[in-house]
Amino acid sequence: MQISISSKNLKKIILIFLVIYTLVFAEAPDPVRARNGMVVSASELASKVGLHILKKGGNAVDAAVATGFALAVTYPSAGNLGGGGFMVIHLNDGRNVTIDYREKAPVSAHRNMFLDSLGNYDPELSSEGVTSSGVPGSVAGLLYALEEYGTMKLADVIQPAINLAQNGFQLDYRTARSFASMLDAFSKYPSSFKVFSKDGEPYNEGEIFRQPDLAKTLKLIKEKGRDGFYKGETADLIVKQVQSNGGYITHEDLAKYNAVEREPVTGTYRGYEIVSMAPPSSGGIVLIEMLNILENYEFKQEDWGSSKYIHHLVEAMKYAYADRTVHLGDEDFYPVPKEWLLSKEYAKEIFNKITEEATPSDQISAGVPPANESEETTHYSVYDAFGNAVSTTTTINSSYGNKIVVDGAGFLLNNEMDDFSAKPGEPNQFGLRGAEANSIQPEKRMLSSMTPTIVLQEKKPYLIVGSPGGSTIMTVVLQVILNCIDFKMDIQNAINQPRIHHQWLPDEIQPERYALPLDVKNNLISMGYKIGRTRSLGRAEGIIIDHENNIIYGATDPRGNGSAEGF
């Protein structure tokens, strides 16, 4: 028998074959490979600064600190001097340490500071203008990390950032577009308009962006250490900016600010050890609670993306976020029932409640601990040739913080006070609610969702990961970890896959584009789920280390514009 195929049909067959091939076999490009060290951040220039420090013989902490200062220059929507963050470090002697440099409420802050005379919450006060700023922690945190765990001099790790601010750098398309899109918001504040516009005109791609005031502040830090920021000229400029518009930060607040070292929160997942951030971040506890619940399931390769898989993820997310709402806040002010929330037993109790249907969020409430138990953020991951790993997430909260540049000092202030629960049950800008645990009190640190995480395998770093994304950070980090551990994806694929998010309230699954094919969506709806708005979820920056073959793999998130730089 002879089969004849017309050229039209042949073209059709080739086209169908190509489509099937693309869907089935085409994967994300390979991660960046290296042997000696890797820096992954949201800015190519900042990653290159970190790489330069590693090549000079610095360790992962030296590189992380240099990257952090560089991000304040090259990625001003989130990199910062005027915000705060968390650093999780694994040292090659086996120690795991974390540094908390989260912003603090000023001394004069009080519980009802964002309520009007009728007791109604005014979100503008907590998220806009100088009233929204917490006392910045980033400079104290980076300097603490360098002094305690770095090997190089401050002058050497901060110099690349000074050069970038002083000499300027060429704006890429996305950064120029981002500045332009914010010009209206900046125009309310002359100090900000001056920095982010060219005499009132938007910057274009390819133009050189110089920040002489920021260079001066960085030089003061280089010369005087923390006093270059928390005292003297910079402190005067911060206080002048804040107080001229009715804000709260004083010289006393700045002088008193300290970074603190905290015990990491730890857990296990299918034999891997999870090391993450303790309160005042909710990140580590919520992540480990979700992993503990999910460990009760067995995921097969073909489960990924199915309605059953998403159902299990989402139910775990809902219970963990309900607990976050009630139980989590700054532990220096509130007794967080940490051990219970992190226990496998509690996770098993939750697992036992999960059925084959969606449980509506109004039927889920935070657990009751046993009576006897006491857009914009950025993440960077670093690994060095000595076996040290650093996972850092830092933020000024909203994109460009409260949009106010400290006049003469060249950096933006945060609007982190919005991360407190200004009134019980009232959602903040991320839709997160809170209770007494996260009420505003003088000098308290507002609850964060940042989840800088290091996953260890046989005591050595296997995965270094974190993400921005406000309330979605924890579910983003969760899905990258599951993609690596359960689905054996390489780090680039694990980061690229479409994601979903649920945070208990609102009671809806928020998917990324392509996360829910039609039949999956329909199955979820028939299980009782509501599908919310489609959005982009996080921008993860990750590293996986293959110790057996001595290869370090780095991957930046295609949702952003960063880079993985290794050598």
Binding site for ligand DON (CB under 6 A): 375-377, 395, 397, 416, 419, 448-450, 468-470, 473
Q: Shortest approach of ligand DON to residue 396 CB, angstroms?
A: 8
265-269 sheet: strands from edge to edge: 32-34, 551-556, 541-546, 460-465, 453-457, 272-276, 265-269
CA dist 213 and 244 (Å) reads 20
Residue 204 CB neighbours (<10 A): 13
Per the residue annotation, which of 67, 217, 377, 453 is the catalytic one?
377
Residue 200 DSSP one-character state: T
- Of 51 and 265, nearer to ligand DON (C-beta) is 265
Residue 459: how many other CB atoms lie within 10 Å: 8
In the bound state with ligand DON, the residue whose beta carbon lies nearer, of 315 and 376, is 376
In one letter, which amino acid is 189? Y
Handedness of CA 106, 111, 117, 123 (dihedral sign): positive
CB closer to ligand DON, 78 vs 152 = 78
- E strand intervals along 263-409: 265-269, 272-276, 377-383, 389-395
Q: Find the shortest distance in angstroms from Cβ 430 to ligand DON.
A: 7
Q: Shortest gap between Cβ of 168 and ligand DON (angstroms)?
A: 26
Q: Look at strands 260-262 and 265-269 and give their pairing.
A: unpaired
432, HSE (Cβ side, Cα atoms, 13 Å):
29
Structure tokens at 534: 């489609």
Q: What's at 497, amino acid-wise? A: Q
Least distance CB 446 / ligand DON (angstroms): 7
Beta carbon nearer to ligand DON, 329 or 469:
469
Give the shortest CB-525-to-ligand DON separation in angstroms. Answer: 28
Facing residues of 405 across strands?
412
The answer to whether 377 is a known catalytic residue is yes
Q: How far is the CB of 110 from ligand DON (least distance, A)?
A: 21
**DSSP β-bridge partners for residue 554:** 32, 543
128 Rama sector, left if φ>0, alpha if ψ -120 to 50, beta otherwise: beta
Based on CB atoms, which residue is closest to ligand DON, 106 or 150?
Answer: 106
Q: Which residues make Cβ contacts (< 8 Å) with residue 4, sequence separation at least 6?
A: none
Tokens of 149: 């765990």
Closer to ligand DON by CB, 80 or 388: give it. 80
Catalytic residue annotation: 377
